[in-house]
Structure 1
Amino acid sequence: MLNSKDLYPSRTAERVPMIPRLDPVIHTDHDRRWSGPLSEEELARFDRDGYLLFEGFFGPDEVAEFREELRRLEADDGLRDWEGVIREPESDEVRSVFQIHKPRISARLARLARDPRLLERARQLLASDVYIHQSRINYKPGFKGKGFNWHSDFETWHTEDGMPRMRAVSCSIILTDNHEFNGPLMLIPGSHRYFVPCVGLTPEDNYKTSLKVQQAGVPDEESIAALSRERGIEAATGPAGSLLMFECNTLHGSNANMSPDPRSNVFFVYNSVRNVPTAPYAASKHRPAFLAEREDFTPLTPAND
């Protein structure tokens, strides 16, 4: 059943103009910000740009441990036929592994999702307790890794998962050096200030194709051009161990990896416990649980508790 109370309509039959953002970027709790490790200057940059990049956030030993876990999951025969393992559209290479914050998938990455360095930053931005809406590893193998079309994550989470408001933040931990040739994530600074409705109804079981090649929920070229003319496009390049935090409505995408160097990252989506999904706004049913948490909204606690 579709959700009728929609502040951000999308997947429409005809083009709808961009909608100015109706939610704050830096959230408050009873008109007060939550304290945390982010400085006032960092909060101002996140508010302005919709993302923050911290180079060398994790040390070499931690990165090596995370990479080993990526290799283990990629080679795990027990996961090979699971729906939550996505492969490249033109090869058998692993593209993504989902639900990595679940201990049954990876105890190590489940602890990482609750790392205080991530958790406290997310809580500060969202001014509330948080849970994991989605988690995954993105593998982008050299020569074979395909790109991702321009999109807002919130548009998909809103239309297909029923996420009501823009009160979520993504943390992407870069595990291989990201440079200009291996398909780094590109972002449009300031694009989080506008919601871009997308044309076209949501196909049945859209996730089965969208996780390989996204077609539904892709903004129109005119809107992308208008937003990029205002602030340009920036690539999130940096050494392994860097952390990219970006607002759920920031437009982003990436090119194919034409270099021999892989580009891998771990991805956690922290959503406010005050923003739990309802019925989808523009889909006939929810996506599977490995893509969007629908049952356990228990606030995360730091891993060292």
Structure 2
Amino acid sequence: MTLTDTRVEDHYPTRIPGEGGLIERTDPTVWGTESDGPMDAATLAAHDAKGYTIVEGLLSPAEVQGYWQELVRLSSDEELKADERVITEKASGEVRSIFEVHRISELISELVRDPRILDRARQILGSEVYVHQSRVNYMPGFKGTGFYWHSDFETWHAEDGMPRPRAVSCSIALTDNYPFNGGLMVMPGSQRTFVQCVGETPEDYYKTSLKEQKIGVPSEDDITKLAAEYGVDQFTGSAGSALWFDSNIMHGSGNNITPYPRSNIFLVFNSVENALVEPFAASKARPSFIGSRDFTPITR
């Protein structure tokens, strides 16, 4: 039984029985204007159309090295590995992701408040923002597993209670992203379409879905339709580049069978005007380290 707050209308129903459908999005992709931050009007218009923006050289080589060393430190911390915020690979047991990393690492906590990050998040969302989720991802060479096609918002709506797709993610590459080492793929413009998923959310589903998601993923037919309409772009670029992408854009990544590892810092900002309610398609909300319920605006 879904425990949806009756005061909040569900504009994006999902995890339904039978067959899913495609819903036209009614919310903007870009909420702010040129005067609200560092992105010019042309960049904002392109982000509105494609659902993503690449910022080359967001971090300097020296900064990249510092954050890379921090990721190595975190993944080598034996005490931290016992923490539920650390997700390991299903097969190898190696660290796959570390959640709520901005509360674990002082260095990444400072990055969240960096004007290069915070000002863009505020501009895209047109409001004050808070961190809905933060994590670092590790994709080692040879055996790093990818993420199947999905919309983040579908999960955040269904399992966290995020009312609308007024959230944006920032993925900062700490290693070079090549076309062949499991780089992120996106369908430009697909943020305009919400894909309903089929199936009931299992109890405590996050315990398995963070390693391999089976509920909350679109059908192959829907993926085929979206790919035919929008095509597929791939995020490539040198370490230090950043990808800003809409919460509802369809995206995924393949396995990494090359010798070249791929790691990134992943920060999700949600508008304070889009605070979470009860989950729309789950019996209870996921833990706060996955979907924060502290809506305090981020300040410098």
Which deviates more, 89-98 or 219-228? 219-228
Q: Alpha-carbon deviation of 1:231?
A: 2.3
Q: What is residue 72 of structure 2 aligned with on the other side?
A: 71
Q: Per-residue CA shift, 1:245-276, capped at 9, x if unaligned?
A: 00000000000001011100000000000101
Q: What is residue 301 of structure 1 aligned with on the other side?
A: 299
Contact 2:141 2:261 in 1 (8 A): yes
2:84 is equivalent to residue 83 of structure 1: yes
2:215 is equivalent to residue 211 of structure 1: no
Aligned 1:99-114 pairs, distance under 5 A: 99-102=100-103, 105-114=104-113
Aligned 1:173-188 pairs, distance under 5 A: 173-188=172-187
Provide the C-alpha distance between the structure 1 equivalents of 2:21 and 2:279, rounded to a whole number of angstroms.
21
2:94 is equivalent to residue 93 of structure 1: yes
Contact 1:187 1:233 in 2 (8 A): yes
Aligned 1:245-264 pairs, distance under 5 A: 245-264=244-263
Contact 2:88 2:94 in 1 (8 A): yes
Please, which runs of 5 or more residues in structure 1 have no aligned partner?
A: none
Q: What is residue 24 of structure 1 aligned with on the other side?
A: 28
Q: What is residue 48 of structure 1 aligned with on the other side?
A: 49
Q: Alpha-carbon deviation of 1:78?
A: 2.1
Q: Secondary structure at the match of 1:169?
A: strand
Query: RMSD over aligned Cα, in angstroms?
Result: 1.1
Contact 1:27 1:33 in 2 (8 A): no
Q: Secondary structure at the match of 1:142?
A: coil
Q: Alpha-carbon deviation of 1:132?
A: 0.1
Q: Secondary structure at the match of 1:80?
A: helix
Q: What is residue 60 of structure 2 aligned with on the other side?
A: 59
Higher helix share: 2
Contact 2:171 2:267 in 1 (8 A): yes
Provide the C-alpha distance between the structure 2 equivalents of 1:123 and 1:54, rounded to a whole number of angstroms.
16
TM superposition score normalised by structure 2: 0.96
Q: Secondary structure at the match of 2:227?
A: helix
Contact 1:162 1:277 in 2 (8 A): yes
Q: Alpha-carbon deviation of 1:67?
A: 0.2
Q: Per-residue CA shift, 1:272-302, capped at 9, x if unaligned?
A: 00101000000000101110101x2111112
Contact 1:164 1:277 in 2 (8 A): yes
Contact 2:58 2:116 in 1 (8 A): no
Provide the C-alpha distance between the structure 1 equivalents of 2:185 and 2:106, rounded to a whole number of angstroms.
30
Provide the C-alpha distance between the structure 2 equivalents of 1:44 and 1:226, rounded to a whole number of angstroms.
25
Please, which runs of 5 or more residues in structure 2 have no aligned partner?
A: none
Q: Secondary structure at the match of 1:117?
A: helix
Q: Secondary structure at the match of 1:271?
A: strand
Q: Per-residue CA shift, 1:147-196, capped at 9, x if unaligned?
A: 10100000000000000011000000000001011100000001000000
Q: Secondary structure at the match of 1:150?
A: strand
Provide the C-alpha distance between the structure 2 equivalents of 1:16 and 1:177, rounded to a whole number of angstroms.
37
Q: What is residue 193 of structure 1 aligned with on the other side?
A: 192
Q: Alpha-carbon deviation of 1:35?
A: 1.3
Q: Secondary structure at the match of 1:77?
A: coil
Decide whether aligned partners of structure 1 residues 34 and 134 sit closer, same or farther in structure 2, where only a CA change above 3 A counts: farther
Q: What is residue 156 of structure 1 aligned with on the other side?
A: 155
Contact 1:188 1:227 in 2 (8 A): yes
Provide the C-alpha distance between the structure 2 equivalents of 1:163 and 1:26, rounded to a whole number of angstroms.
17
Aligned 1:108-127 pairs, distance under 5 A: 108-127=107-126
Decide whether aligned partners of structure 1 residues 56 and 279 sit closer, same or farther in structure 2, where only a CA change above 3 A counts: same
TM superposition score normalised by structure 1: 0.95
Contact 1:34 1:123 in 2 (8 A): no
